Structure 1
Amino acid sequence: ILNFSLMAGLYVVNFLIVMMAVLTPIDTLSGEIASHTIQSIVTKPLLRWEVVLGKWLGFAVMITLYGIFMAGGVMAVVYTIARYTVPGAWEGINLMLLSGLTLLSVSILGGTRLSTLANGVLGFGLYGLAFIGGWIEQIGALVRNETAVNLGILTSLIMPSEALWKRAAYQMQPPLIRELGITPFSAASAPSDAMVVYAGLYLLAMLGVA
């Protein structure tokens, strides 16, 4: 029960990180381009990639600090009340932050190509696709339906945010709970290290294209 409550709290934190990653930069580039403000901000000696990278780094620092503060706060409250230490806490937090930074890169990319509204639809749409695909894969693994599992893996390749959360949840649960799979946060098939590496490359690719 204690671990379930903790994971529920961290799931909310993960959702808030995702929302911040999608919403905070949504109008940064597209809004400046639409209003022609970018022309007064960007001078000739300043290259396009420097502007994009600078904005990404600024939001990345904000999201990282927010995620550490929120996740650390939840863990600190649980430890204060029940003296329960989360296994794999830092690994889990880092994976949650990677999920947020991945969506941040998508939002920054969308800001250079799309309007503010379209960028928001893209960010939330990809997150929703990953969320649904993650549960399809989870159910498919439980009932041993290979088609459902493959469909879930495909959505994780399109947007790896949900796979990163499932890996984070796997890292932060005791071995017994992992094996029994008795909570909604127990992954029937935990994402591999290769998926984590893919998410990092995905992030760099989105930022590079932006």
Structure 2
Amino acid sequence: MWPIIKITYREMISKRIFTITILMSLAFIILFGVATWFAAREVNDMMGRIGSDGVMMKGFFSTQLLGMGLYFGSIITALLAILSSVGSIASEIESHQIDTWLARSLTRKQYMLGKFFGLSSMLILYAALLFLGLLAINQWVGGGLVAVQVSAGQLLSGLGYFVLLPVILVSVSLLMSSMTTTVTGGIILIILYGISFIGGFVEQLGSLIDQESLINIGIVSSLLFPTDSLFRLTTLSLFETVDNPISFASQGIFGTSSPPSTAMIYYTIGYGLVALLLAIRVFQKRDV
């Protein structure tokens, strides 16, 4: 299994999509830093003009600015996870490169697990660096003006939810890759990912205006593809404090007015595990 993990590392690094994503991620972090600097300066001027109300505005800006960065960061991570893993099995079957590996004393289960651990570990590292980079900019560039006050426990909790996203996506991508072609699997996953995030926003809107039908739509979309719940748990972990259980982020577009339950966390983990087990089973039965 270890040779497959090493080969997966080399293949992922050599792909053009990985290089482009790294470069665009650096551009995104720089842009986020510039936006944070201008926001801090604006908040500083605003607090001097409106007095005590500036404290509330400061809290809103700080959570929404970091929430925006994490939102687009999660999209970048998700697209990288999908595009780098959805063809990992299908493309090798189509090109018959997989025949060389399966001719050795290597089971299909070991091959699939090697792909999973190789892709997941690389994407976990990428997601962790992106998350910590965004948070570091918020803390250092934002200073005491737009920096979110985050404890070590909150940071670790938010990081854990953020890096779980690519792991779930890799599991489902490998299932798609073992069943369909690269293009078909990629289209299906991107659509499911979009449905999840749109459903998440619909659920938050329904919670704010107390519309049960909208909340139910969001719940159904989360059960279909539970990626949005991980983003909501990330922001909830960072923005919710003991002194202020209903954070400013709860009132904004990137907030969490309808927090995912503990059962949803277990469901998400189980979703990824079942997808991986199905991927192994389908690959074992597939005629290559």
User: Do these two structures clear the TM 0.5 threshold for a shared fold by scoring above it?
Assistant: yes
- Correspondence for 1:135 among 169, 176, 201: 201
8 A Cα contact 2:81 2:166, kept in partner: yes
- Correspondence for 1:148 among 201, 204, 214: 214
Letter in 1 for 2:237: Q
State the 1:78 CA deviation: 1.9
1:196 aligns with 2:265: yes
Cross-structure match for 2:117:
57
State the 1:169 CA deviation: 0.9
Letter in 2 for 1:185: F
- Correspondence for 1:26 among 64, 86, 97: 86
Question: Percent same amino acid among aligned pairs?
Answer: 30
Q: Distance in 1 between matches of 2:170 and 2:118?
A: 11
TM-score by length of 1: 0.94
TM-score by length of 2: 0.69
Q: Distance in 2 between matches of 1:30 and 1:177?
A: 46
Letter in 1 for 2:217: L
Q: Distance in 2 between matches of 1:182 and 1:70?
A: 25
Q: Distance in 2 between matches of 1:92 and 1:70?
A: 13
Q: Distance in 1 between matches of 2:87 and 2:137?
A: 35
Q: More deviation in 56-65 or 81-90?
A: 81-90
What RMSD over aligned residues (CA atoms) do the two structures have, in Å?
Answer: 1.6
Cross-structure match for 1:119:
185
- Correspondence for 2:150 among 79, 82, 86: 86
Aligned to 1:188, the other structure's residue is in SS state: coil
Q: More deviation in 174-183 or 40-49?
A: 174-183
State the 1:86 CA deviation: 2.7
1:4 aligns with 2:64: yes
State the 1:80 CA deviation: 1.8
State the 1:2 CA deviation: 2.1
8 A Cα contact 1:130 1:162, kept in partner: yes
8 A Cα contact 1:75 1:86, kept in partner: no
Q: Distance in 2 between matches of 1:15 and 1:109?
A: 21
8 A Cα contact 2:131 2:162, kept in partner: no
Distance 1:182 1:136, change over 3 A: closer
- Correspondence for 2:226 among 160, 182, 187: 160
8 A Cα contact 2:236 2:259, kept in partner: yes
Cross-structure match for 1:209:
278
Cross-structure match for 1:185:
254
8 A Cα contact 1:22 1:104, kept in partner: yes
Aligned to 2:85, the other structure's residue is in SS state: coil
Letter in 2 for 1:206: A
State the 1:183 CA deviation: 1.8
State the 1:196 CA deviation: 0.8
Q: What is the aligned length?
A: 210
Query: Per-residue CA shift, 1:100-135, capped at 9, x if unaligned?
Result: 211111111101010011010111011011011111
**Which structure 1 residue ranges, 4+ long, deviate > 4 Å from structure 2?**
none
Cross-structure match for 2:166:
100
8 A Cα contact 1:137 1:148, kept in partner: yes
Q: Distance in 1 between matches of 2:240 and 2:276?
A: 35
Cross-structure match for 1:74:
134
State the 1:63 CA deviation: 0.6
